Amino acid sequence: MKALVTGGAGFIGSNIVRHLIKSGDDVTVLDDLSTGHRTNLDPFPDIRLLVGNISDPNTLSQALSNVDVIFHLAASVGNKRSIEHPINDTMVNVVGTLQILEAARKAGVRKVVYSSSAGIFGEPKTDLIHEGHPTEPDSPYGASKLAGEKMCLAYSKLYDLETVCLRYFNVYGPNQRYDAYGNVIPIFTNRLLNGLPIIIFGDGEQTRDFVHVSDVAHANVLASKTENFSGSLNIASGTSVTINQLASLIHNVSGTDTGIEHVPRRPGDVIHSRADISSAKKHIGYEPTVKIKDGLVEYVTWAKEEELRP
């Protein structure tokens, strides 16, 4: 398979590249390196890296030469970032996705695997979130990801282009660097490694479904190889923990306890989140394999090594 990974120098993208290379696939990465890191791709000297933007037609044309599948991860990510920069969020996530789809159509690409988000649901109405759950996003990020999904599925109806939209819940794992806008696990770990107390917004009893990035990468590869299916699928662990439990686990696996501070809840934050992943199992054979404690041991070890990197 000849694959293009947009945003392939980023956290999830570089882990997808790892899986593709392991399978012997021919990989091109398109990334403007605004949030991605070249070092994430150092283990893969045989890939083709194009430094550029998905909004540039010439770059897209070059990147899509003889490509079978596009893994589209290039995005502006995060609720807080989108609230502060809503126009940029929409331009990257909505217009950028449309440009990818149109370029894919013209190039005769077989399939687009689109990285979506559980942010499309907003505050859950049920304890278990399935694909048919109402989509009422609470942030421009969730709205832009939902718009990207709708665009993908419209293209799959109009043209000979299969599209699979993978709705990630809370992804964590190696190559996920600290970002104040990012996932709670690298934020907690960063504070821990700097000897600072973990800060929890609200009472800490809110729940999240954390999924290891290797499971997410595997889901992308499975989606790319499944034939005659277009649609949206939840990609998660199917289990949930409270934020208080998460903080305790991180302290436990690191062997360091820096304490916890609670501050007021932020607007736009979801209270409870757990995914029904039965549809992903049915349609692409997805089964998560990494337990959260094992994943946190791996991540904290990676983060400590990253702190020491020159």
- Asked if 292 and 249 count as a contact pair (C-beta separation under 8 A), the reply is yes
Residue among 101, 92, 61 nearest 74 (CA):
92
Catalytic residue among 114, 141, 155, 168: 141
Q: What is the largest CA-CA distance in the chain?
A: 55
In sequence order, the 6+-apart residues with CB closer than 8 A to the CB of 206 are: 242, 243, 269, 270, 271, 272
Residue 141 CA, distance from chain mean position: 13
Helix 292-308 with 243-254: angle, nearest 10 deg: 60
Helix 213-225 with 11-22: angle, nearest 10 deg: 60
Dihedral class, residue 93 (left if φ above 0, else alpha if ψ from -120 to 50, else beta): alpha
Element (H, E) at 152: helix 140-158
CA distances from 289 to 175, 216, 219, 247, 270 (A): 19, 10, 11, 22, 25
How far is the first Cα of the chain from the last one, in angstroms, to the nearest whole number?
36
The C-alpha atoms of residue 143 and residue 147 are separated, in whole angstroms, by 6
* φ, ψ for residue 170, nearest 5 deg: -90, 100
Q: Report helix, strand or coil for 183.
A: coil
Does 286 participate in catalysis according to the annotation?
A: no
Q: Vertex 40, ends 304 and 301: CA angle to 5°?
A: 20
Catalytic residues: 141
